[in-house]
Amino acid sequence: MPSPAGRSAKDFFRPLAVGAPEPLREIPARPSRAIHFFDPSNPKMAAKVPQLTGTVDVLLGNLEDAVRADNKVAARESLVQIASSTSGLGGPDGSAQLWTRINSLDSPWVLDDLTRLIPAIGDKLDVVMVPKVQGAEDIAYVDRLLAQLEAKAGLDRPILVHAILETARGVANVEEICGASPRMQGLSLGPADLAADRRMKTTRVGGGHPGYLVRQDPTTTSDGVLGQERPTYQQDLWHYTIARMVDACAMHGIYPYYGPFGDISDPLACEDQFRNAFLLGCVGAWSLHPSQIEIANRVFSPSVEDIRHARRVVAALNRQGGDGTGAVMLDGKMEDDASLKQCLVLVELAEQLAAVDPKLKEIYDAIELTDE
Ligand SMILES: CC(=O)SCCNC(=O)CCNC(=O)[C@H](O)C(C)(C)COP(=O)(O)OP(=O)(O)OC[C@H]1O[C@@H](n2cnc3c(N)ncnc32)[C@H](O)[C@@H]1OP(=O)(O)O
Ligand SMILES: O=CC(=O)O
Ligand SMILES: [Mg+2]
């Protein structure tokens, strides 16, 4: 059966242009807790890139929304300059990955974004983020164009594609978007554009809303008097979409991310939003301001308590049967193959992060198990 992007299974992993690199069979799990956005046309932000390179998993040169229309060319040119001159940025050995967010596919800038960036810095660019993706056809367009440009530039490694989920049609097509190309690296939730496209009545960039709540039912006392207290509980506007995104990504072996949290002055609510996404399966979130990098790095790294518990579960199941199967009691709770698999997700993530973050490695290495 043809894939949504029109390719049969036998052709799925064939390069889309003669001389283009072979597509990857599996998307590598490179740490990407914070995708830090900067506007390359803003001299102050551009100047901060070298010092951010050792502190953040991904630096993303943003060319789309938040870059003024009259700065689009300057942003693109400055990104070329930054990528060429910043050591440790981008490529398979970079200490920070280099991503870019190109302009939307219907904009007057996107063709020049790709035809300028790929020949100039294609060897440094790890991922191209595509905004406002509507369906597999958008990915197919970028896929073919990237293959042609990679072939022309003689690149030996495919540039990956990340789509922003920020239109109602995109959400309806989320599974086919994830499976549209072997280049698909992941998806980010774009709550601001998605809210506008859905005609939601919010005015924020991500996060909750005090009006979106449930109220406790009225209570009556034993003599029938209506109680005064009716607590309310704010609900998560993004739960449904994040859950759909996580399932679609997991099904296709690619990575889901929460996107922007616009209230820079509210680090606590930002942390909550990021943690909800982490718990639901996301691997990272966007950082719009340097202060959000630390929040994402912390929230998207498993805690010491989680890793201690996960290792104890692994050890307890191994102690019992040697092969990790069966069931054991630990702290009054039943643990078996299914909880073991959850624990292994955390243990593997900790190993991946420790490999790039020496401080975290020290912390995880120092965890002692007291059961043996
Ligand atoms: C819905 C969406 O599409 S979200 C994605 C698109 N939006 C973005 O990318 C926004 C990126 N961030 C920004 O534009 C800015 O952070 C703003 C406008 C939110 C706030 O900027 P400022 O008012 O300058 O913040 P603030 O004064 O706290 O900045 C402190 C310093 O950090 C710098 N800085 C701020 N944001 C960033 C950033 N993202 N990257 C690098 N440096 C930054 C500032 O230039 C300033 O530098 P200075 O100390 O040399 O003066
Ligand atoms: O691009 C991000 C968004 O929220 O819109
Ligand atoms: Mg957007």
Q: How far is the CA of 165 from the centre of ligand 2 (A)?
A: 8
Mutate to test the pocket of ligand 2, among 62, 99, 130, 193 (most ligand atoms within 8 A of CB): 193
Q: Rounded to whole angstroms, how far apart are CA atoms 80 and 74?
A: 10
DSSP for residue 9: G
Residue 165 amino acid letter: L
pLDDT of residue 344 exceeding 60, the answer is yes
Q: How confident is the model at residue 113 (pLDDT cuts 50, 70, 90)?
A: very high
Asked whether the predicted pLDDT for residue 372 surpasses 70, the reply is: no
Mean pLDDT of 322-339: 90
pLDDT of residue 312: 96
Q: What is the structure's pLDDT at 6?
A: 73
pLDDT-derived band at 291 (thresholds 50, 70, 90) equals: very high
Position 212 scores a pLDDT of: 97
pLDDT at 193: 98
pLDDT for position 5 = 63
pLDDT band, very low/low/confident/very high, at 328 (cuts 50, 70, 90):
very high
322, pLDDT greater than 90: no
Question: If pLDDT is split at 50, 70 and 90, which confidence band does 3 have?
Answer: low
- Name the percent of the chain lying above pLDDT 70: 98
259 lines ligand 2 (CB under 6 A): yes
Q: Which residues of 18-49 are buried (b: 16+ CB within 10 A; e: fewer)?
A: eebbebeeebeebbbbbbbbbbbbbeebbeeb
What band does 191 get if pLDDT is binned at 50, 70 and 90?
very high
- What's the CA gap between 141 and 152, in Å, rounded? 17
- For CA atoms 265, 267, 268, 272, give the dihedral sign: positive
Is ligand 1 within 6 A of the CB of residue 128?
A: no
The bound ligand whose nearest atom lies closest to the alpha carbon of 66 is 1
Least confident of 39-43, 57-61, 191-195, 221-225: 221-225
Q: What is the mean pLDDT of residues 367-371?
A: 82
pTM for this prediction? 0.96
Q: Which two tokens stand for residue 294?
A: 């630390």
The 3-state DSSP composition of the chain as helix, strand, coil percent (nearest 5) reads 45, 15, 40
Q: Measured from the CB, is residue 192 less than 6 Å from ligand 2? A: yes
The pLDDT of 3-9, averaged and rounded, is 73
pLDDT in tens, 13-69: 999 999 999 999 999 999 999 999 999 999 999 999 999 998 999 999 999 999 999
DSSP assignment of 66-90 equals: TS-GGGHHHHHHHHHHHHHH-TTBS
Which segments within 118-254 are labelled E, that is strand? 127-130, 160-165, 184-189, 213-215, 232-234
CB of 166 shorter than 6 A to ligand 2: yes
pLDDT band at 219 (very low <50, low <70, confident <90, very high): confident
| Of 87, 90, 80, nearest in space to 30 by CA | 90
- Residue 276 clears pLDDT 80, i.e. is over it: yes
Q: Is the CB of 170 under 6 A from ligand 2?
A: no
Binding residues for Mg(2+): 166, 193
> Residue 4: pLDDT above 60?
no
Q: How buried is 138 (Cβ within 10 angstroms: 0-12 exposed, 13-18 middle, 19+ buried)?
A: buried
Identify which ligand lies nearest to the alpha carbon of 55. 1
Q: Give the 3-state secondary structure of residue 52.
A: helix
Q: What's the average model confidence in pLDDT over 179-205?
A: 98
Lowest mean pLDDT among 111-115, 168-172, 252-256, 326-330: 326-330
Q: How confident is the model at residue 308 (pLDDT cuts 50, 70, 90)?
A: very high
Is pLDDT at 325 greater than 90 in this prediction? no
- pLDDT score for 229: 86
Nearest CA to ligand 2 atom 1: 190
Widest pairwise Cα distance in the chain? 83
The two tokens of residue 106 are 């219907």
pLDDT higher than 80, residue 321: no
Per-residue pLDDT reduced to its tens digit, 56-107: 999 999 999 999 999 999 999 999 999 999 999 999 989 999 999 999 999 9
pLDDT at 319: 85
